[in-house]
């Protein structure tokens, strides 16, 4: 069993401010998402004696991570964030060697890498998730340890934050970790770059750029209007 080294990963998810316009009826929902949430989870990175195989993975020892701290909008979420459900990552080798470069499998429309469940943020209640949209990871074997690194310009994993299935922010998922008794750090950061949303969810479309807050306004009859 020692062949598969276990690793406790500490993870940070952060979201920058996004701007958008909801092209939808007055009942459309839109929120801002800023701040960060830090969580830790154990992971298996594979057998270092077998080298960098064509297919590798990041397998969580349980499917949940424990939230350690929050800030910004994550800190205002109710109920308070305490657990995040994680999906294992499949890595497919693109460049052999040591280190080797792997592509990271992307999320389908029905799965998410990180799922925080139903929460209320800025008065809106819905499911908060982060989905991976693509990217690469380097995998290095040294002194009987597996190391993963996606925290540099050539190895970046991208993703999007969703709230109730609606895209609200771009993200970058970067990782440092080794398969030893020590820890690692996973960072998830929203870049604030535009995220087009198809006109498939109740007629909602979002155009997103960095630097402005979405504000909710209400008409005299109580209907919700969304305006950047």
Phi, psi of 111 (to 5 degrees): -130, 160
Tell me the average pLDDT of the chain. 68
Tell me the per-residue pLDDT of 156-211, one tens digit each, with 9 for 90 and over. 778 888 888 888 877 777 665 555 533 344 555 555 444 554 422 322 222 222 22
Q: In whole angstroms, what is the distance from residue 100 CA to residue 39 CA?
A: 27
Percent of the chain with pLDDT over 70: 59
Instruction: For the chain, count helices (H), then strands (E).
Output: 1, 17
Sign of CA dihedral 125, 211, 206, 110: negative
- Which pLDDT score is estimated for 223? 47
Q: In whole angstroms, what is the distance from residue 158 CA to residue 40 CA?
A: 20
CA-wise closest residue to 62 among 46, 83, 41:
41
Which residue positions in the chain have pLDDT lower than 50?
Answer: 1-6, 16-28, 181-185, 192-194, 197-228
Residues 6+ apart with CB under 8 A from 222: none
- Which pLDDT score is estimated for 178? 59
- Which pLDDT score is estimated for 78? 95
- Which pLDDT score is estimated for 98? 95
Q: Does this model's pTM top 0.85?
A: no
* Full DSSP string of 117-146: EEEEETTEEEEEEEEEEEEEEEEEEETTEE
Q: In whole angstroms, what is the distance from residue 54 CA to residue 93 CA?
A: 5
- Which pLDDT score is estimated for 108? 78
Q: In whole angstroms, what is the distance from residue 215 CA to residue 207 CA?
A: 15
- Which pLDDT score is estimated for 7? 53
- Which pLDDT score is estimated for 115? 92
- Which pLDDT score is estimated for 21? 29
Distance of CA 82 to CAs 39, 76, 118, Å? 9, 13, 12
């Amino acid at each position: 069993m020692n062949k598969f080294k276990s690793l406790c990963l500490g993870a940070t998810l952060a979201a920058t401010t996004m701007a958008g316009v909801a092209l939808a009826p007055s009942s459309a929902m839109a929120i801002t998402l800023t701040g960060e949430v830090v969580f830790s989870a154990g992971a298996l990175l594979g057998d270092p004696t077998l080298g960098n195989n064509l297919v590798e993975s990041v397998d969580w020892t349980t499917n949940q991570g424990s939230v350690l701290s929050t800030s910004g909008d994550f800190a205002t979420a109710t109920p308070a964030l305490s657990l995040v459900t994680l999906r294992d990552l499949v890595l497919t080798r693109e460049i052999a060697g040591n280190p080797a470069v792997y592509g990271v499998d992307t999320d389908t429309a029905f799965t998410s890498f990180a799922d925080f469940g139903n929460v209320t943020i800025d008065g809106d209640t819905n499911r908060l998730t982060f989905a991976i949209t693509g990217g690469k990871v380097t995998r290095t074997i040294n002194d009987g340890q597996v190391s993963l690194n996606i925290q540099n310009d050539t190895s970046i994993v991208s993703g999007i934050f969703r709230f109730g299935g609606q895209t609200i922010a771009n993200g970058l998922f970067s990782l440092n970790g080794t398969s030893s008794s020590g820890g690692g750090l996973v960072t998830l950061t929203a870049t604030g770059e535009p995220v087009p949303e198809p006109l498939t969810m109740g007629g909602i479309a979002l155009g997103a750029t960095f630097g402005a807050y979405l504000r909710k306004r209400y008409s005299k009859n109580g209907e919700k209007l969304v305006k950047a």
